[in-house]
Amino acid sequence: MRETCIFCRIVSNEARAAIVYRDEQVTAFRDIHPVAPTHILVVPNRHIESVNALEAEDERLMGHLFIVAGKLAREEGIDRGGYRLIVNTGADGGQTVFHLHVHLIGGQRMMHPMG
């Protein structure tokens, strides 16, 4: 838990968010600035700064995080149409909140990220 980390504060209920899923390992909540009809962030409850900070012991946690993302996609009704999972990493990757998170984005057709 990092007092200065907004996602840690959401996980611990100190900051408000539209939480859609929570268990002992991960929390999911709606992005405050959605870029598509569905835009959910799935985060580990434990503070992990980014993919750069992952260790071998985090393998199950990260697998679980993606399983939850897929479950939420089904619940949002976007699994058949398709969706995008994004993990921005570091400044060049566009990461602005340094608590690892997966963006689940869908509900509309998206441009290919590679152009």
Give the active site residues: 101
Binding stretches for ligand AMP (CB under 6 A)? 6, 17, 29, 31-33, 41, 88, 94-97
Closer CB to ligand AMP, 60 or 114, in the complex = 114
Closer CB to ligand AMP, 41 or 62, in the complex = 41
Long-range pairs for 34-37: beta carbons < 8 A, 24 or more residues apart: 35/105, 36/105, 36/106, 36/107, 36/108, 36/110, 37/106, 37/107, 37/108
Closer CB to ligand AMP, 27 or 95, in the complex = 95
- Strand partners for 26: 44
